[in-house]
Structure formats: structure tokens, C-alpha cells
Amino acid sequence: MSNTENKPMFEPSGAGVVSCDQWWMEVGSVDLDGEVVTIQKGNDLLAALSPRDDGRLRVAVFHSLDSKSIDYLTELSRVPHPEHGVCMRANNWEYALDCSAGSGNAYAADRGEAYLSYWQHGVGISWDGSELPDWRMHKDLPPRLASEVVAELMSYSKLDSDAGPIAFSPVDQTETASSAFSGQASAPTLQRTAQESFHGCLLGGAVGDALGASVEFMSHREILKRFGPEGISEYAPAYGGLGKITDDTQMTLFTAEGLLRAWVRECLKGITTYSGVTAHAYLRWLQTQGERPRNDIMFGDEEPGWLFQQKELHSRRAPGNTCLAALRSMSALGDPAKNDSKGCGGVMRVAPVGLFGWSLGMQEKPDEVFKLGTELAALTHGHPTGGLTGGVLAVLILSLVEGASLPDALTKAKGLLLREAQHQETLRAIEAAEALALSYQGDTGLSHAEAIAQLGQGWIAEEALAISIYCALVARDFRQGVILAVNHDGDSDSTGSITGNILGALHGVQAIPEVWLEPLELRHVIAEMADDLYAFKSWDVEDDRVWEKYPGY
């Protein structure tokens, strides 16, 4: 596209809608005698925001904007999610009100940085009606030309590769909000098909796993020292390369394979046990780690199936000691582990259960999906929490693929959890994550890192699940959620993987940055497994190729 085509076409002083893929705002004039949220710095009134009829923002800019001021504008003007709204608020104006109330604004003002203020009765009028002359004097400031504001936003957008190109559309500020917004390219774009959610779930888990792989055994302080103040945000070398997966994704793939092989067995032999056949799959994973069970359990080496033949899987990637020990000592396929472990190695691998349940049409039987997720996690982790967290994650994935919001999916999963004995520990962890997510934006004064630290380090099941739920709830997009999930003191690859599963199922594969997908180890194998989980009900099970790929044992 030529430079001419990129230029916004509008009258320099006219109002208009400025938008990109991630945010949308109307730039024009704002009544400073009415209710406004302002961006201030020192003694200057930089910008003012007021609500439109549709809850989006109208913005007037009075002075040059620094990067933090632009961050405020674009963050508060983000495109609402079709299910979650704007950070779980009803609209942009409600989000702006919450952000202006945060205690972080006072700290920013003390540091001489830009900050937000709320004026209910107009600029310079305090809550009790008294006048503040130093601010009231700004009430007649003329707004800057729209052309200048758009130019600043365009210049800034070049530094944000995720935002996409900026568009401008002139608009008469007297027209209705609905007509001004209709047809904008920045309307919610996160609609996705179920198949895209399947891909998003498995590939999202894998990229979270790979991003966390290099920092799994580092403290948060060590991560910041090595990667800078934002922490790790791109792949770093691990296991001999970039984008390498760990045992989390390996075992997730064998979970999916076990479920498919159990279904093939049921179709062709009329009898199956999903926990037993999946346990057999985990023993094949154990063999990829160079080990075998101590007891006499047949592997079926003569028909290993497609997944076992992927040579990249035959590599030890810091497998969990509990998983190894439980599988080495397994005496009967499908029996729960004879230990009291609640490490995260059970929950980290069960996302395929939710996908499998969706394809089987179990949306109206979430209790069965919960039970299966619990049973598969319990194959290696015998503590009730080690199993129940697997049931919760399986139902979350089932519900998200079906189209539920994350809060609604959590409500359904918690309802099923409450029916189980010894559910209290898991429930407390989930509710702690929800409470911290709802209180974020400065009300508690906690940063994301501090909130995650309150939830734990993720080495044990309920902590890994809680951290992942928190990161998924507060994230504005897939990328931010996964970055939050790997930058902490604990089990970064597992929390990255579970968060990636959740956000990938919620938003679909299109939400995952290509810069993470392109170098991902076994990307095409993972995508093929997602396709098989989605489409298996349509297979001709009499076709020999089905048994060759997924032998029924």
C-alpha cells in the first residue's frame, strides 16, 4: 500500500473515530463542565475522556502526549471482548472509572508521571462541590486538531506491532452512537469456530510450555535480571533450541492419543476403559523417556501407533518425578496412583479431555467430563486435589469451546467440584484467583507479580490451576496472559501451558502470535492431533488406516 493510501482522509479539525485491531476511540471535543476522566501530568491537563451512549469513549486532547499518556488512551479504549467486555467491566467507561480510582495514580503523580483523575462535576470541581482554581482554569481549553492527535497515535503504533494499522473515519459528533460505530473494522474480532478453539487449546498450551521452558527453575528475580524489567516474552534457548516443548506437552499429546485409541477400541471391540487405555498411552510416554514399568504390562510394541513414532518425543524434558515413579510402579491399567502427591503433573496434561468430551457431544454431561479429567490426573497423582484439579480444567475447556465466557465456565466447574469429597482446597485456590483478578487495576495495590505470588508457585496442582485462572482472567489477550503465566518464581512451563490451553480454547488459534507458532517444536503434530480430536466422530473406523494410527489398546 502506498503512503498516500495510508494517510487518514479527514478535515484537520473534524471529529472522527480512530481505531485499530485492539482499540477504538472517538477524537473530538469533550464537555469539561460535565463528568470526565482526565489524564494529567504535573500542572497540565493532557486529555479528557467522556462516555458515549454505547459506553465507548470520546476523547479530547489538549497537549502533546507522552508514551504513558498514549498507553492510557489505548488501554482504556480497547475493543470490548464479546463475552468479557472490557477487563470484566461492562464497557470502556466503566473500565476508565475503575482505573481512575486506583491508588497507583497518586504514586504516579508523586513521581511526576501522567496519571488519571475522575471529576464527577467537571474539571476543577471536587466531590463536595468546592472549586480547585489550579484545575478549574483548564475548563475552557481548546482541543488539539484531530490531525495532530491521529499523527501521534500513528507514530506510536509503529512501536506496537500487535496493534495493527490505524484507521480514521470522520463522524458528526451529533449523530447517534450506534450509527457512528456500525461497520467499524474494530468491532470484536475474536469470534472463532470450535475447530479453531481445538487448535488454540493444544497449540496455545504448547507455546506457553515452550515459553516457560527456559525459566522453569529460575526465580522471578533471576528472570528479570536476565531478560529485563518485562521478563521473558520471547523464546529463549532450552533443550538445544528455541520453541522446544517439555514433558507437559508430551504428556498432553499422549492423553489425547489415549482417548482416541480408547474410542477406536470401543467402536471395534464393543468394550473399552478410557482411563485404562490412556494409562497405556502414558506408559508409552514413559518409554520415550528411556524407562519401562517394573510390572508386567504389555506395551503392544508391534503396533505402537503414530504418536510414538514421532522421534522428537523421545527426549527427556525435565519429566516430573511423581509421574515417572507412578508409571514405573503401575500394576494395573487404570488404577489411581498409590501415592499422596498433588503435584501439577496431573492437571497440566488433561486439557484434551475437554476437547474429546465436546466432540463426543457431552456438553450436557459435564459431570462425566469432570469425572474423566479427575481419573486421568489421578493415574499419577493420588491426592484428591491432584485429581480434582484435572476435572476442573477438563470442564473449563469443554465449556469454553462451547462458547461460554471464562467466568461462566468457572461457575460450572465449581458447581461440579462442590459435589466432590475433599474439594475445599481446590475451591479455595480457584476463588482466591477470581478475587485477585476482580480486584486488579490498583484497588488492592498489588501488581500481577504480587498477586501471582499470593497464589503460590505452581509446583502443586491447585496453585498451578489458580495461577493459570488468574492470568487468563486479567489478560487483555493471549500474549499477555501467557507472558504473565511464565514470569514468576515457580513452575513456569506448567502455568504457561495451562494458561495457554485456557486462552487458546477461549480465543482460538488466531489469537496466538505467529512469532511463537512458527518455531514451535512439533507444531504440525500438535495441530494434527487437534484435528483428530475434533473430527474423530466422522471417521470410518473400519478403515485400516484408523487402527494403524490409533490401535485400540
Under 8 Å between Cβ of 67 and 39: no
Please count the residues of the chain: 553
Under 8 Å between Cβ of 116 and 37: yes
In the chain, the amino acid numbered 467 is I
Under 8 Å between Cβ of 263 and 547: no
Three-state DSSP at 171 gives: coil
Under 8 Å between Cβ of 333 and 284: no
Q: Which of 25, 16, 97, 20 is nearest to 59 (CA)?
A: 25
Q: Which of 508, 481, 514 is nearest to 199 (CA)?
A: 508
Q: Which of 490, 503, 530, 506 is nearest to 352 (CA)?
A: 530
Under 8 Å between Cβ of 201 and 397: yes
Dig out the grid coordinates for 103 from the structure.
491508588
Instruction: Please check if 491 is assigned to a binding site.
Output: yes
Under 8 Å between Cβ of 499 and 481: yes
Instruction: Please check if 246 is assigned to a binding site.
Output: yes
Residue 106, classified by CB atoms within 10 Å of its CB into exposed (0-12), middle (13-18) or buried (19+), is exposed
**Strand runs (DSSP E) across 503-543, as ranges?**
none
Instruction: Please check if 128 is assigned to a binding site.
Output: no
How far is residue 48's CA from residue 274's CA, in Å, rounded to a whole number? 59
Instruction: Please check if 493 is assigned to a binding site.
Output: yes
CA 81 to each of CA 88, 401, 523: distance values in angstroms, whole numbers, following the listed order: 9, 16, 28
How far is residue 526's CA from residue 199's CA, in Å, rounded to a whole number? 8
Q: Which of 483, 480, 481, 500 is nearest to 200 (CA)?
A: 500
Q: Which residues pair with 37 in a beta bridge?
A: 49, 118
Residue 271, classified by CB atoms within 10 Å of its CB into exposed (0-12), middle (13-18) or buried (19+), is exposed
Instruction: Please check if 247 is assigned to a binding site.
Output: yes
Dig out the grid coordinates for 514 from the structure.
505467529
Binding residues for Mg(2+): 246-248, 491, 493-494
Binding residues: 246-248, 491, 493-494
